[in-house]
Every structure is written in C-alpha cells, then in structure tokens.
Structure 1
Amino acid sequence: MLDSIGDFNAHGTSWGYKENNQDGDAVETWLESKHLTLIHDAKLPKSFHSARWKQGYNPDLVCVSSELASRAVKEVLDPIPHSQHRPITITIRSVLQATTVPFRRRFNLRKADWLLYQQEIEDSIPSIPPHPNSYTTFTDLLKRSARRHIPRGCQTEYIPGLSETSSDLLQAYHTAYHEDPFSSTTTELGEILLNKVGEDRRQVWKELIENTNMTNNSRKAWATIRRLGADHTTPPTLTTVTANSVAAQLVLNGRSQTRRRPTGEYRRTAVSDHPQPASALTKPFDPEELEAALCLLKPGKAAGIDDVLAEMIQHLGPKAKSWLLEMLNSSFIDLTAAYDTVQHRAMIRKLLDMTGDLDLCQVIKSLLNNRRFFVQLNDKKSKWKAQKNGLPQGSVLAPLLFNIYTNDQPLPPQCRRFIYADDLCITTQQESFHKIEPVLESALQEMSTYYNNNHLKPNPSKTQLCSFHLKNRDAGKELNISWDGHKLLNHPHPVYLGVTLDRTLSFKTHLQNTKAKVNTRNNILRKLVNSKWGADPPTIRATALALCFSTAEYACSSWSRSHHTKLVDTALNDTCRIITGCIKTTPVPCLYALAGIAPPHTRRSIVARDERRAQESDMRHPLYGHTAPPSRLKSRASFLHTVPPLQSTKETARTNIWRVEWHQLNTRAQEWMERGITPTECLASGHDLPWPTWKTLNRLRVEQGRCKALLKTWNYHTEDTCGCGAVQTMSHLLECDDAPQCSPQDLAEPTPSAVSCARYWQNDI
C-alpha cells in the first residue's frame, strides 16, 4: 500500500538536488523514524519545471513502507498542458517480474549436434577454393549447416536467476498474489521466493563488480540492475537523426581538406634504406598456431559482422581447419594492393621509418584497406559505406597508430604541450595578457601547418581558451586569439581529460560535478540495499569502491589540496551510511571504520604520494624530471611540493596513517574499539549476517538509531519510555528486560547474545 505522496518542497541530494536544506534534513529524519523508503530514480525526468527559473526540480516525493520498496516502480509521465508539474504513477508489482525481449532467433548451442554439423562441412569444404574471395561462401556453408543441426528459438520472457526448484514456488506465489497481493501469505511466499532467486542474482552482481572497471562509466552497472531487478525504465530515443545521416557524416569527417596526388619521390619510398631482417610475419601460419588461436576464442561472445559464432569455428573438422589455414596464409602474404588514401600512405611511411619492418607495415596496411561500415541507430541500419581513411574505432591498435602518426608534432617556442591520444593542450606562462596572445597565435599557426601537411583536420569550434590567474580585477578579461580565421571561444571552465578547470585553480566546479556524480551512483547502492539479491554487506562495499570511491578519487592528486574537497567528502559520507545502514547522526569516523574504508582525505593523500613516486622513478611519467615552480598559496601548490614519495604499499600506508589519526582526533576511540569499531580496511565483524541484522548491529555499536528517546529529541515521538517502563535509550536496548540482553563488548565479535539482541530490535530501530 502507498504510505505518503505529495509536494514536500524540500531540497535533498537523495532526490536530485545539489545540496540539502533544513527541510530536506527533516524529511530524511522523518523517513527514518517512520520506516519509510523514498522511491526515486535519478534517470527519470524532473517532476516539476519552473517557468520562472527555467530549470527542473523534484519537489514531488513518493515514500512507501520498507517492505514494499523493492516492488514499487515510479514513472514520470509527459507534462500536462498549462501545468508545471508532471504526473507521477506508482506501480506495486509482484516480487518477481519477467524480463521481456524482442523476438529474435538465437542458436541454442547446448542442444547442438556438433558431429553432424562437422560432418556436413567436411563433405562440402573441398569444393570451395581456399582464397579470400571465397570467404563469404565459406561462412554461408557454416551458417547453413548450423541452421540444420543447431536448434534456434527465442524466449521472449524470462526471469533472471529463476531455477527449476523455485519455479513451483513462483507458481504458488502467483496464485496467492492474484487472490490478495497484500496478504500475509503472499508476503511470506514472496520473501521465500526472493531469497532463493536472490542467491543467483547476487553471484551475477559480484562477478560484474570483480571483473568490470567502472571508474569512468556506470552504464553497465545500471543495465545489470535493470536486468536483475526487472526495472522497465526506458531511456529517451533520438528521432531527428537517422542512421544514414550519421554514416554520411562519418565519411565526410574522414575526407582530407587537400587532395594532393603523391609525387614520384613520395611514391618511391626507399625501402632499400631499411634493411629487412627475417621477420615472423613473412612465415606462413602452421597448424599449431591455428589450434592455439582457436583455443583462445571465448565461447559465449557475440558473433562478428559475418554472423559466425566462436563455437562454430571451434567445432570445425580437420578438412575445414586446413582450408581455413590456407585461406589465412594467402590473405596475409599477398599484400600488394595500392594504398587507399594519402593519410594511410603517410602513416605507413612513418611506421616504416620508425620500425624498418616492411612486413609489419604491409600487415598494418591490409588492416586499413577496403574498410566498410554501417551505422545502427534506434534499431535501424544505414547503407554500407566505404571508409578510405582514418583508423578503426574501438580497436586496441587505433590509439597506438594515431600516436605514431602524430608523434612528430612540433613544440612551439615558449610553450609546453600535454598530449593524450587526440587530446592536445598547449600552455604558456607570461606576465600579461598582451604577451600571451602572440605566443599562442604563433603556436596555433605552427600547428595548422603541421596538420595541413599531415592531412589532419583541427576543429577550432571545439577548441577552448582559458587563462589562469588570481587577479580578481581581470576576472572577466578574455584572450583575443584566432585560429584559421575562427575566433576561439574563452571558456571559464574547460574540461581536460575529465577534470574541470577554473581561473583560480580552486577546482570548485569540478568538485561540485564530482559530488553530483557520486550522489547519482549512491542511488545504485540504495537500489541494491532495497533488493533481496543485492543487500549483502560485502557486495555493497565492493560496489561502493568500484562506483563511488573510484569516481570521487579520479585525478585527486591534482585537486586534493583544494578547500572545496568537503563537497566530495559529504557525498562519500552518504556512501558509507548506505554500506553500514547507519543514520545521519552517526559520527563520521565510525562510518568509515564500520565500512572498512579509509577516510577520503587519507586515501587522496596516498594517491598523491604514489603519483609523486611515479613522477620521480618512472621515465614514462609525463612530469618525469619536472621541477614545479614555487607557489605562494598552499591550496594551489603541486603535489610535487606537498607530499613525499610513497615508500610502502598503498594499503599499508593508508592503514598506518588512519590508525594514527584515529587515536589523535577521536576522544572516544578506545570506547569505539571495544564495541568492534576499529580503523582497518575490512568490514566490521558480523558482515556475514543478513542485512537487517547487520544494520541494527551497527546502530547499536554507535548508539545512534530510532530509539524512543532520540525520536522524542527530534520531535517525532511524544513518549520516550520503553515497554518495560524505563527510558528507551540506545544503551537501554542492550539491557532491556523484555529482550535478549548483551554487553557493549559482546557487540564487537559479535556473540550469539548480541546477534539475538540485534534481531529482536531490527524492526524498531
């Protein structure tokens, strides 16, 4: 049933605002006291659009009881005419929802008859000549044989994690749900069903967290949550752009501005000047190499553009493998076709000058020749297009080849450059604006000459200017610089490699954006906590480190001395509250100790020390051997001046610093340690308990929870007496005559008596 819905007009980071106001804090405390859960999805549109401020807000909140939180789905509909509010619908679903997918035939490889599949190919392969031109005929043979001997079907509806043992339980639950969705029998069956299905879902999530790097992107995490949690929220689709227009624009982007035919001298590259040693690339592949390559194919991966699965190739017979070997050898040895474009020719020449390996250059040339592509957008495909220049996007080889191609970029005088793939930053330091402008104008002109000679196309419209200084009287002054006839725009907050810069290098804007990112990812943790398959303390902690802390610590060695780091720390405090289940009044040091994560300032300090170590010892570091100029302000000082190099492992250094600060800054440090709150990088004891018990145990340890004495202090309760007649404080809960009793020291292990006490109070505090 729905408990509360309305326009609260309160600001809170949990429902999309940049910061909390007094009303937002009151709403969060009220939700805790009433055992309510806020239903909010950061991916949904804002529910209110202010005509005065031209901005969207979320004043309309929906709160449901905790037992219904995992089943409630919020949807924001299209706006109503003559109203600034959008309608909101709340649907209470059954505990398990089937995932619906479009009908598409898929091979059921588990039921494949590989012997007949292999035999049919062995009988037909001798009639196909082993030549690259016959590859299409070869793939048609594989697909035709696969359709005959591998069943194809499609299950349009399925429930992730549903096994044969839980199917009968699901049927019983559906029967009870249709009779009365809110009855005690339905609720009990739903709990049992979720516990069984949740184990499989939890394993899928753990594998995602352990095997995926989500430092810069959390889309895969959101996609997995939607799939496992039956979230039917669909992102908006583009309707004004077609796949054909995108493909045509990609072809235009690759065309050179200068169509210059290569001269005779350019054509006659002196290959004889490069002694050609014996190369492994000139040798044909042998059967052992082919078998080794087939063993490295990963089953279960999607097919390529030829629609041939890895399993189809791995189950080929001896004749088919022999045919494949001959075809590959003829493909990689006969490399005599002309270059497609001038750009490819120039890159191959630079590669030849660098390596002196003609065979390697011929292989690279073949990878760039005759490339065709199509664009798929909104389930529609464009026509096939030919790409005669550029590099194949998404390949491991592309950034390496681009770095080789642009490795000879000039270094303008009085300037310094920073290059990361195709991102170039040119900096200079002068005494006034008038001295900076001619230096940068000359540098850009030199870069234009280089780009034209190498058939590269700079984009002045995306090039930004920014001046860094502390003169407030010149805060609005802009640089007047043009590039190829285009006046460059001055941007107050340029972004380079994901870091937002500002005039005074205070990093305030960057930290505000980082805080917003962490708050959005905290919503993932809240979804996990409200699900049966994700509410596992180790899983929540691993997710927080992979999503929230990695985002909050990106490039922190450059901004860790900013005075605005508290913005990020506040968001990370909420992260640890979600991990531990503690309420907002919990002391911050206890949050990180219970979560087993060092405080943010300690983690940033160790990252800066590790960066300093790399800067001194690693010649590949961009700042190797660089001496930073002295800085008047400590907040603007480089980490090269403020931290020493790291001498031990990062884990050891974090723990040592944390323990020293723990005893120096906390007057109750010894008392907390007796309750099991210690500064170590592992979860507090009891993390293997069910989530409600673990949450209650932590609240008893820190003496902060929804006891009647605190609720009366917060003006959410009129009485503070317990059922036994005494004042119900957090310490009284351990010695109440109506409940299992334990001592504060029992909470550290925790002992069976402490677990019994936590289970007794878990629905109350």
Structure 2
Amino acid sequence: MSSNQHGFMKDRSCQTNLIAFYDLVSKKLDSGDAVDIIYLDFAKAFDTVPHKRLLSKLRSIGLSEVVCTWIENWLQDRVQRVVVNGTFSTWNKVLSGVPQGSVLGPLLFNLFINDLGEGIMSNVSVFADDTKLCRPVNSIQDVTCLQQDLDQLAIWAAKWQMRFNVDKCKVMHLGCKNMQAPYTLNGTVLGKSIMEKDLGVLVDNKLGCSKQCQAAAARANKVLSCIKRGIDSREEGVILPLYRALVRPHLEYAVQFWSPVLKWDIIELERVQRRATKLVKGMESLSYEERLAKLGLFTLEKRRLRGDMITMYKYIKGSYNNLS
C-alpha cells in the first residue's frame, strides 16, 4: 500500500496525515520557499468505484482468481431503490461503489486508488479519498510542474471513471514571495482559499492554529450548553461521563497537530473545562485546581503534553515509519 495513504491503515490516522504533510510544508517555508497546496475533492468517491475496473486492478496486483471471484460475487447482484412519501421507485442494479459500513469496503477503496500518485513529481497526501497535492513554487517551471501533476491526476480520474468535484477543489498559496499562480482542473480555474478545513482541522495560509482553537472551543461550548440545559442531574457520575464523551473530544481531535502555543488560545480551550467542572454538584465554590483534583482530571494543557510525548515516542520507536 502506498505510504501516501493514511486512511483505514494501521498506525495511520487523520493526525498522522496532517503532521506528515504540514511538516513537509513548514520545512519548505522555513527554508524560504513559496508553497502551493491544492486540495482535491472526489465527488461521491466511495459510491462511484466501478466494479469491473476494481476487479481488473485486483487481478493486476496479483490477487488469485479465487479471491477475485469471491469479491466479484460479493459485489454483484446488489440493488437499490428510493422511497419518497411512501412511494417506491423500481429496483435498480448497483454497478459501482464499495459497500460502506462493511469491513472489506475501505480496503477495496484503498487498493483502487493506490496508484493515484504514480508518476506525480509533487508531494501527494491521501486520507481515503481526501487528497492534497503540493510543491515549492519558486519559478514558472515549478508552477508548470504542479499543473502537469494536476493534469495527470485528472487523467487518472477519467481513466478509472472517478470524478473531481471541481467547485470544492481549492488552491492555497503560502509564503510571502508566492506568485499566486492560477491552476486549472478539467478546464476550470480552481478557486483560491486563505483557509481550508483539512480533515476537520482549520488550516490557514500562515499555518496558525488560532482559528482552529476558536472553532474547537465554540463546538465544545455548544455541546456543553446543551448538556447544561437538557440534563437536570448535576451528579458527578452523570456530568463527568458526558463531558468526557461529548465535549472533550472536540478539544482534542488531532490536537498534536494544532496544539496551541499562544497564551490566549490555551486559555480559551481551558475555559471550556473550567465551565464543565463547575457544573458538577458541590464544585461551584472550589477553585479550578481543587475541582480537577476531586474529579481526577488533568488540565487540558497537561493532557496535550502527554499526547505530544506519546506521539513522539511512537515516532522514535518506529510505529510511524515511512509516513509521507
């Protein structure tokens, strides 16, 4: 499997994808290069994988005919219909797509797009169908090379009956000396963006994390407010599990990538946990540190530090070998 793929892979995740990709980008920026990133979006990727072409790929990579026949039998004779206001459409055969929610579906999809980056000179990073393309652009030749790689991806998509949602594909220009060159996909000029939501994390053209911190805190506060209004009980056994399950994940998703360094961002995230611990009965008059001690919680800053150490340990020990 290509080292560019981070989706549905052991020891790979959204976080490893983000860290590996933007580590490369930040190194190029630190060395004085301008960098262009192209964010690509496949239209209904999992639903449009053509079965015949998928099976041809499986045979080409060396799967036995017995296995290929078994997969073919598993995919074929599937039907679907639509129900609107109690009215049923006729049944139609499903000729494309991997069954979502299945164990085998994600693996088949990964195998289908495994050769997506072949022949591409720029850096390609993939998480399932979310694809990013980037390279330093210090000259017209660099821009031309990136455009050629984009054209190559368009050719790949056409060959394998996949389709890019051009309206959702964007370009982000990074670096103070960036030429802001335009790029086209299938004859359409791609829109420019100063901020993108990449695998659920807000990334801007300065590679800052303040907007992501604000968004994470806002989402967490919204859920916390729902708990406060909707749950009558203030017992620790009720509030604490709800906080851990529904609120804190918003503050810690892929946080080893976007962990805040500015004081006000750190305070903004911590403020959510301060509010949450005050909801518990009997904690209202205690200081934040006392509430944490009684509830057996650490500050979010300490939890991020622990996560940083675990992630670094995995890198050092080789769990994340060949990340790209």
Q: Do the two structures share a fold, i.e. TM-score over 0.5?
A: yes
Query: Does the C-alpha gap of structure 1 residues 378 and 448 become closer, same or farther in structure 2, counting only changes over 3 Å?
Result: same
CA distance in 1 between partners of 2:125 and 2:235 (Å): 44
Residue 425 of structure 1 corresponds to: 132
**1:448 pairs with one of 147, 154, 166:** 154
Residue 160 of structure 2 aligns with an amino acid whose one-letter code is N
CA distance in 1 between partners of 2:267 and 2:85 (Å): 42
**1:372 pairs with one of 79, 82, 90:** 79
What displacement does 1:350 show? 2.0
CA contact (8 A) 1:579 1:595 kept: no
CA distance in 1 between partners of 2:316 and 2:148 (Å): 33
What displacement does 1:527 show? 4.0
**1:504 pairs with one of 193, 201, 206:** 206
The Cα offsets for residues 639-666 of structure 1, whole Å up to 9 and x where unpaired, read as: xxxxxxxxxxxxxxxxxxxxxxxxxxxx
CA distance in 2 between partners of 1:376 and 1:395 (Å): 23
Taking only the aligned residue pairs, the percentage that are identical comes to: 21
What displacement does 1:478 show? 4.2
Residue 442 of structure 1 aligns with an amino acid whose one-letter code is Q
1:597 partnered with 2:297: yes
CA distance in 1 between partners of 2:55 and 2:101 (Å): 20
Query: Does the C-alpha gap of structure 1 residues 458 and 529 become closer, same or farther in structure 2, counting only changes over 3 Å?
Result: closer
1:575 partnered with 2:276: yes
CA distance in 1 between partners of 2:56 and 2:258 (Å): 42
Aligned residues: 278
Query: Does the C-alpha gap of structure 1 residues 381 and 545 become closer, same or farther in structure 2, counting only changes over 3 Å?
Result: farther
The Cα offsets for residues 493-548 of structure 1, whole Å up to 9 and x where unpaired, read as: 211111110111112222211111101110243146514xxx43123211111111
The Cα offsets for residues 33-62 of structure 1, whole Å up to 9 and x where unpaired, read as: xxxxxxxxxxxxxxxxxxxxxxxxxxxxxx
Residue 494 of structure 1 aligns with an amino acid whose one-letter code is E
After TM superposition, list the pairs within 5 Å mapping 1:9-408 onto structure 2. Answer: 254=48, 343-376=50-83, 381-408=88-115
Counterpart secondary structure, 2:240: helix
The Cα offsets for residues 290-310 of structure 1, whole Å up to 9 and x where unpaired, read as: xxxxxxxxxxxxxxxxxxxxx
Query: Does the C-alpha gap of structure 1 residues 374 and 572 become closer, same or farther in structure 2, counting only changes over 3 Å?
Result: farther
Counterpart secondary structure, 1:456: coil
- Structure 1 or 2: more strand by fraction: 2
What displacement does 1:435 show? 5.8
CA contact (8 A) 1:518 1:572 kept: no
1:460 partnered with 2:166: yes
What displacement does 1:412 show? 5.2
The Cα offsets for residues 268-316 of structure 1, whole Å up to 9 and x where unpaired, read as: xxxxxxxxxxxxxxxxxxxxxxxxxxxxxxxxxxxxxxxxxxxxxxxxx
CA contact (8 A) 2:210 2:260 kept: no
Residue 394 of structure 1 aligns with an amino acid whose one-letter code is G
RMSD after superposition: 2.9
Query: Does the C-alpha gap of structure 1 residues 444 and 349 become closer, same or farther in structure 2, counting only changes over 3 Å?
Result: same
Counterpart secondary structure, 2:173: coil
Please list every run of 5 or more consecutive structure 1 residues that lacks an aligned counterpart in the other structure.
1-248, 257-342, 628-765
CA contact (8 A) 1:515 1:552 kept: yes
1:409 partnered with 2:107: no
Query: More relative contact order in 1 or in 2 (CA 8 Å, sep 6+)?
Result: 2
Counterpart secondary structure, 1:565: helix
Residue 101 of structure 2 aligns with an amino acid whose one-letter code is G
CA distance in 1 between partners of 2:134 and 2:86 (Å): 44
Residue 192 of structure 2 aligns with an amino acid whose one-letter code is N
Query: Does the C-alpha gap of structure 1 residues 454 and 617 become closer, same or farther in structure 2, counting only changes over 3 Å?
Result: farther
1:541 partnered with 2:240: yes
CA distance in 2 between partners of 1:376 and 1:614 (Å): 49
TM-score, reference length from structure 1: 0.34
1:513 partnered with 2:215: yes
Counterpart secondary structure, 1:428: strand
After TM superposition, list the pairs within 5 Å mapping 1:592-671 onto structure 2. Answer: 592-619=292-319, 621=320, 624=321
The Cα offsets for residues 325-368 of structure 1, whole Å up to 9 and x where unpaired, read as: xxxxxxxxxxxxxxxxxx32221122233353222211111122
1:492 partnered with 2:197: no
Counterpart secondary structure, 1:389: coil
